[in-house]
Amino acid sequence: MERVDRLERLTDLVLVLLREGRARSLREIADEVPGYPSAGEARRQAFERDKRTLRDEGIVVSTEPIDGSDQIGYRIKPEDFYLPDLGLTPEEQAALNLAVAAVHLGDPSGRDALWRLGSAPAPSPLTAADLPSLPALPVLFEALRAHATLTFSHRGLRRHVVPAVLRFRRGWWYLLGYDLDREAPRTFRVDRIEDRPKLGAPGSAVLPADFDLERPSSEAPWQIGDGDATDVEVLVDAVVVPRMLHEVGEGAVTEKRDDGSVVVRLEVSHTGALRSWLLEFGEHVEILSPPSAREEMIEWLAAVAAPGDWATG
């Protein structure tokens, strides 16, 4: 099980290089991290391989002069490793732990990211979704960290973008930012980025002063699709009307009923995104028309509820 042993060694190496905020000599590192050869060139070669692996994964290992005969020390600076403090409440942090435990992105990157937020991942026996990882995501995160512009191809068009934030909503990753060519806010679905994005210089990404992070694009997720748009009418219970109208606006209301419920009309070109979004409202929403959209929702809910859909591997 050599691979497992090396992964354990790399994990221990990261923890040691982060500890106490000081540089350590190779001798100290080998004393604290199990798995390195006892001494000599073999030890140094093993450490150099591990150091390259960490750097390839985006973990910056700094080299610094130190006192003593070893003269050179190594460490990972906290500011190079941890993401900025997101200001999460304990409840929000618990929800993030649960989401990472329940949703797999094709590799352990989500769980590793919790370390970078300064949080220990919480174990969970249930995986609710297994999502493919996207090659563009690490580059997009790096652009946000470095405040760098991005260049990429998206749905056949070349884009030059000042990134603002990444969001995972209704089953999709979205990059929100400012399109420099169109001089307007735009939302990009990350799985539709067709190449590996290229980073501009650190600090090159400057958002306009009037950029609205809450509404950077007029396109809702259910409007970002390749099919023809269809008007879908949804009945909304009174208890969730304020939340619904915050999402879609008063202009979407076509009928107000005596019990406080409303009917909203949505222009839909991505039925899957609409379905995922409506599920957030639970039993408080109902598709009224067209019949095809209503029937599709009923069939999907029946398939999800069928026995065997939550089988574990």
pLDDT at position 307 is 52
pLDDT at position 285 is 92
Classify strands 129-130 and 103-104 as parallel, antiparallel or unpaired: parallel
**pTM metric for this prediction:** 0.37
pLDDT at position 258 is 94
CA proximity to 239, closest of 281, 280, 274:
281
* Fold classification of 223-305 (topology level): Alpha-Beta Plaits (3.30.70)
Kindly list the strands in the beta sheet with 198-199, ordered across the sheet, starting from the edge strand earlier in the chain.
184-189, 172-179, 157-169, 150-154, 198-199
pLDDT at position 251 is 77
Cα 68 from chain centroid?
43
Structure tokens at 208: 């306009």
Identify the helix (H) or strand (E) that includes residue 169: strand 157-169
pLDDT at position 97 is 59
Which three-class secondary structure state does DSSP give residue 236?
Answer: strand
Domain boundaries, the chain: 2-81, 84-133, 140-216, 223-305
Going from the first residue of the chain to its last (313 residues), give the mean pLDDT of each consecutive group of 10, the final group possibly shorter.
59 82 87 82 88 82 85 85 65 59 48 47 44 74 90 87 81 82 82 90 90 58 63 92 82 90 86 80 90 87 61 38
As its CATH architecture, domain 2-81 has Orthogonal Bundle (1.10)
Looking at domain 140-216, its CATH class is mainly beta
Identify the helix (H) or strand (E) that includes residue 231: strand 230-236
